[in-house]
Structure 1
Amino acid sequence: MSDVERTEFELPPDLQRQASSRPDDAPVNPVAQAGEQDVEKSLRPKSLDEFIGQPKVREQLSLVLTGAKRRGVTPDHILMSGPPGLGKTTMAMIIAEELGTSLRMTSGPALERAGDLAAMLSNIVEGDVMFIDEIHRIARPAEEMLYMAMEDFRIDVIVGKGPGATSIPLEIPPFTLVGATTRAGMLTGPLRDRFGFTAQMEFYDVDDLTRVVRRASRILGVEIDDDAAVEVASRSRGTPRIANRLLRRVRDFAEVNGDGHITLASAQGALAVFDVDELGLDRLDRAVLGSLIRGHGGGPVGVNTLAIAVGEEPGTVEEVCEPYLVRAGLMARTGRGRVATAAAWRHLGLTPPDNAPGML
């Protein structure tokens, strides 16, 4: 018997009704769960023709891959650069699919030692595509080994330690390295120069994102009105990953509060529940703007001060919030700190001062 005394209490009436209407014996259906996961995977396009947006990158990649296939050689190494969520990983999968080869995936932070990379390269089959996400974060010893692998298709494996150590050259079959980075400026010159083609992924416009939302809704088996699809797309910050995520949350709202059909009203209601406003700003974005304007008169303010005010790490504010706020014209970065623009003041329902950036 526990020494802690149990306390009886009553649920509020609304929670009592919810509890009584919820079936007690309704566990997660494993078949439905597996099917849901398969559907989520199917949201990724499987070919360049199926990929929506990025027309220039698709055209360039098509030339690179088609030319290599006609010559019967492996394509040059490919670097995918751009902000998160634009389809760099998906594009790497498409490259392997177009070439009819296997895709071996890893990430820069996982390659801490040269031996980690050597283990992966030793299992490479000729023509394989090796994908390294966040390649700018690869450790220096592994990066130096990667130079030789990319250029000469061989690596030197060190056997033993101290004066008796021996370097054994290991030939590896020709392969194509696909690197993805969100911080191209952090790549070293020698690594960047070894890529034969660099694809710069751009943010999506609303029309392309609307096509992404409609495609995803068809795959998810969800009916969505045209104006609702535009509403979700316009709040997705130019990013397909966010568009697909918001669509799933809107789907939840429509199923719980209606018949599952997504109308403009249900889309707006769902996005309001999940704190996504008409510009795509979430709670943290608005907290940063609110601190900048209400707490510091619109700036200039340092990023550390803003981070403390909103209870986040400086890196989160700088890497998650700032890029979109700057791109949306709501914040300006100056030598003295961050400054709120006139559009930011108006977005929060406030009158901007005469010296706010963007005032006419």
Structure 2
Amino acid sequence: MNWDDTTDETSAAEAGERLVGASAAGDDQAVEAALRPKDLHEFIGQEKVREQLDLMLRAARARGATADHVLLSGAPGLGKTTLSMIIAAEMEAPIRITSGPAIQHAGDLAAILSSLQEGEVLFLDEIHRMSRPAEEMLYMAMEDFRVDVIVGKGPGATAIPLELPPFTLVGATTRAGLLPPPLRDRFGFTAHMEFYEPAELQLVIDRSAHLLDVTIGADGSAEIAGRSRGTPRIANRLLRRVRDYAQVKADGVVTREIAAAALGVYEVDERGLDRLDRAVLEALLKLFGGGPVGLSTLSVAVGEERETVEEVAEPFLVREGLLARTPRGRVATPAAWAHLGLAPPQGRGSGTSGQGDLFGA
């Protein structure tokens, strides 16, 4: 059981408010802290990443050396923060946690680096959002364990070299493509976190249910897993809402029927789509005959900001094969028509031809 930005602040906020949003805020963070696995053996899923990390960490311990810098990429909620804590635990080292947006000046980074202990793990979340001056300082810190602190301004400025103890940087990003090559190349180990299969999410849910003292059957955990969008964080959030429903509406035992009824109340359907996702699909199919339709027009139709539709709803719909982005606009796939139980207009197929041009790209 494991889990953990959109570039647009509004989109990130919207995502955090959704039951199926992958961002964590408020109570979610406190619950996650209690449910996080403590070592690699407890960590479920990401088998290749776990195996590679285990080899690297065991070799570092055998040499009595600090572990190589680690870069973890992937969607929110897949376990990047959890793995950073496990790395620290496996190396028996303290961990310092910060994020890219919190480091806006080179001085901010210098203050953090200068206070690190030997072997300490520095977890830098959303590393792609760090300021450029801080990023350039990080190059030297990662490679030479040294930073140059600039004192003064203009021609009279001087650089004072500051030696750093060996440390391990664990960077996490949802946008690996935004990292400059010089920064990526300084990581000794890089890993991409994949979405989870339903069977893996069932194990996540069963483990969390045990820790939360929730009685759940295999069919109940399977039902929740199928609606969790391949993300452990979402699976744990849905489990808690199903638990509440079972306690109030039933005898507290989570079965398939109880889980389906509970998630029906929260408008999460059998494929994990919520109200916003279905609103986008319904507008695309019912108002625009399956598309193509421009993003701005589609956003107005569902009463949401353009960025919310593009950054919050569309990625999952595209990944599920329900929507396609084309140069002419958004287009519904045959699977979208089938999921909503609608028949495409005669002669339109999946909505890829005809009057869709009227709505622009």
Class of the TM-score when normalised by the shorter of the 2 chains: 0.7 to 0.9
What residue is the counterpart of 1:98 in the other structure? Answer: 90
What is the aligned counterpart of 2:275 among 278, 283, 306?
283
1:141 maps onto 2:133 in alignment: yes
**Is contact 2:201-2:225 (8 Å) kept?**
yes
Question: How many pairs align?
Answer: 323
Residues 76-129 of structure 1: per-residue CA shift (max 9 Å, x gap): 111001111100110111100110001111111111111111111011101011
Secondary structure of 1:101's match? Answer: coil
CA distance in 2, matches of 1:70, 1:302: 57
Give structure 2 stretches of 5+ with no counterpart.
1-27, 353-361
Secondary structure of 1:299's match? Answer: coil
What residue is the counterpart of 1:179 in the other structure? Answer: 171
Quote the offset at 1:37 in angstroms: 8.7
Residues 123-157 of structure 1: per-residue CA shift (max 9 Å, x gap): 11010110111111111111011111111111110
Secondary structure of 1:280's match? Answer: coil
Pair 1:312–1:37, CA change in 2 (3 A): closer
TM-score relative to the length of structure 1: 0.87
CA distance in 1, matches of 2:183, 2:284: 39
Percent identity, please.
Answer: 67
Pair 1:340–1:37, CA change in 2 (3 A): closer
Which amino acid letter does the alignment assign opposite residue 289 of structure 2?
G
1:242 maps onto 2:234 in alignment: yes
CA distance in 1, matches of 2:294, 2:232: 31
What is the aligned counterpart of 2:182 among 190, 195, 198?
190
1:355 maps onto 2:349 in alignment: yes
Quote the offset at 1:322 in angstroms: 1.4
CA distance in 2, matches of 1:99, 1:69: 7
Pair 1:136–1:336, CA change in 2 (3 A): same
Quote the offset at 1:357 in angstroms: 7.4
CA distance in 2, matches of 1:125, 1:236: 39
Quote the offset at 1:318 in angstroms: 2.0
**Is contact 1:148-1:154 (8 Å) kept?**
yes
What residue is the counterpart of 2:326 in the other structure? Answer: 334
Pair 1:357–1:69, CA change in 2 (3 A): farther
Residues 145-170 of structure 1: per-residue CA shift (max 9 Å, x gap): 11111111111101122222211010
CA distance in 1, matches of 2:116, 2:215: 44
Which amino acid letter does the alignment assign opposite residue 54 of structure 1?
Q
Deviates more, 1:54-63 or 1:330-339: 330-339
Deviates more, 1:265-274 or 1:319-328: 319-328
What residue is the counterpart of 1:206 in the other structure? Answer: 198
What residue is the counterpart of 1:302 in the other structure? Answer: 294
What residue is the counterpart of 2:356 in the other structure? Answer: none
**Is contact 1:346-1:352 (8 Å) kept?**
no
Residues 313-358 of structure 1: per-residue CA shift (max 9 Å, x gap): 3232222211211111101111222110011011111112453179
Which amino acid letter does the alignment assign opposite residue 181 of structure 1?
T
What residue is the counterpart of 1:15 in the other structure? Answer: none
What residue is the counterpart of 1:53 in the other structure? Answer: 45
Secondary structure of 1:204's match? Answer: coil
What is the aligned counterpart of 2:156 among 164, 179, 194?
164
Residues 292-313 of structure 1: per-residue CA shift (max 9 Å, x gap): 1112211112223222222323
Quote the offset at 1:40 in angstroms: 4.6
What residue is the counterpart of 1:7 in the other structure? Answer: none
CA distance in 2, matches of 1:346, 1:124: 56
What is the aligned counterpart of 1:65 among 49, 57, 69?
57
1:323 maps onto 2:323 in alignment: no
Which amino acid letter does the alignment assign opposite residue 292 of structure 1?
L
Secondary structure of 1:106's match? Answer: strand
CA distance in 2, matches of 1:52, 1:275: 28
1:155 maps onto 2:140 in alignment: no
CA distance in 1, matches of 2:114, 2:198: 44
Which of structure 1's runs of 4+ aligned residues deviate more than 4 A? 36-40
Which amino acid letter does the alignment assign opposite residue 62 of structure 2?
R
**Is contact 1:39-1:219 (8 Å) kept?**
no
Secondary structure of 2:191's match? Answer: strand
Q: Residues 16-55 of structure 1 correspond to what in structure 2 (within 5 A)?
A: 40-55=32-47
Residues 18-63 of structure 1: per-residue CA shift (max 9 Å, x gap): xxxxxxxxxxxxxxxxxx9976522111111000001000001011
Identify which of structures 1 and 2 has the higher relative contact order when contacts are C-alpha pairs closer than 8 Å and 6+ apart: 2
